[in-house]
Structure 1
């Protein structure tokens, strides 16, 4: 396995390979359509049940059944409507994000071509999602945040920023979490990253770099994936807001760890 590193996710997959056609969706799970799906996995660790990537697919309608995984999705093109058991519907369109918990009984109703970024946690522990969490979660970039309690100031260089967080979903194992986060400008030194995280930048600009000084600038609309133990430095000279999807292995899972 290659060394963990900060990765820029691209809407069409890596420039040198793009996305490749994946195996067909099992017809037994479909109500209609003969969808063609393509994708690229930027991260895949079967031992964790964790994967992250970009995916696209032609129109299709799935069967009403329990969702098999915990999944965060950020829609890039097209739309999908999630139909629930009670007949209610949630339509998610390009530019919007959503979370489907494992076990939610729902139907995937996709009337058009769709492209998305995704993070999947295929939890094999048998942990059961709480009834109150069996819903479609809709993170919104303009939602309010709660001031974060920063207990470890040693992670910062210079002034301590004011940061905020709005947590939408935590899976029953406490490892997979999705939320909205913002912060004043700040800098932190290079250190091994303590979690796996997809960051969807909504506002502002940040420079992320590694221990060799390789820098990448991420602005609004950009998406970064940072795996655990990657050498990681954050430097922002302005306010930044992002969606995050974090996986923190159980031995270190702490829901308040979205601070940079």
Structure 2
């Protein structure tokens, strides 16, 4: 049985921030500095929650996980592999499905809360 001390409270954690630049193969425009602060990972490592941010730029995306996003700051344009796009701004909440591919462009410095679930594929 779990108790109140088992609740992960982000504000009381000192989670490390990992900063990085995208690889040349992934990056399309700019050289955006990005960071991730993963506040929680489940024991099976399939479920992650944290905060991501990026400077302006664009890159290719290919999702193997489901990702819930809540945009806290900035503006981004997500474009699918057929060229159809969606602009997301502060307050927008959405889920990107596993299998989605296309591009992500940060127009203005972007911060989002993410909740990711990576389904394990059964070995046959």
Band the TM-score falls in, shorter-chain normalisation: 0.7 to 0.9
Post-superposition offset of 1:223: 0.9
TM-score by length of 1: 0.41
Post-superposition offset of 1:250: 4.2
Give, in whole Å, the separation in 2 of the partners of 1:167 and 1:157: 25
Structure 1: state its 5+ residue gaps: 1-65, 67-103, 107-133, 252-260
Higher strand share: 2
- Greater relative contact order structure (CA < 8 Å, 6+ sep): 2
Post-superposition offset of 1:148: 2.2
Alpha carbons of structure 1 residues 208 and 183: separation in structure 2 relative to 1, 3 Å: same
- Please tell me the root mean square deviation across aligned C-alpha atoms, in Å: 2.4
Give, in whole Å, the separation in 2 of the partners of 1:198 and 1:162: 22
Give, in whole Å, the separation in 1 of the partners of 2:108 and 2:15: 19
| Per-residue Cα deviation, 1:157-181 (whole angstroms, up to 9, x for no partner) | 1222111121111000111000011
| Per-residue Cα deviation, 1:77-104 (whole angstroms, up to 9, x for no partner) | xxxxxxxxxxxxxxxxxxxxxxxxxxx3
| Counterpart pick for 1:197 among 67, 70, 91 | 67
Whether 2:57 is the aligned partner of 1:182: answer no
Alignment of 1:5-154 (within 5 A): 66=1, 104-105=2-3, 135-139=6-10, 146-150=17-21, 152-154=23-25
| Per-residue Cα deviation, 1:103-158 (whole angstroms, up to 9, x for no partner) | x335xxxxxxxxxxxxxxxxxxxxxxxxxxx6222346xx9862423463311112
User: Could you list the runs of 4 or more consecutive aligned residues of structure 1 that deviate by over 6 angstroms after TM superposition?
Assistant: none
Structure 2: state its 5+ residue gaps: none
Give, in whole Å, the separation in 2 of the partners of 1:202 and 1:138: 18
Alignment length, in residue pairs?
Answer: 119
Determine which structure has more spread, i.e. the larger CA radius of gyration. 1
Given that 1:175 and 1:248 are in contact with CA atoms closer than 8 Å, whether structure 2 keeps it comes out as: yes
TM-score by length of 2: 0.81
Q: Tell me the equivalent position of 1:172.
A: 43
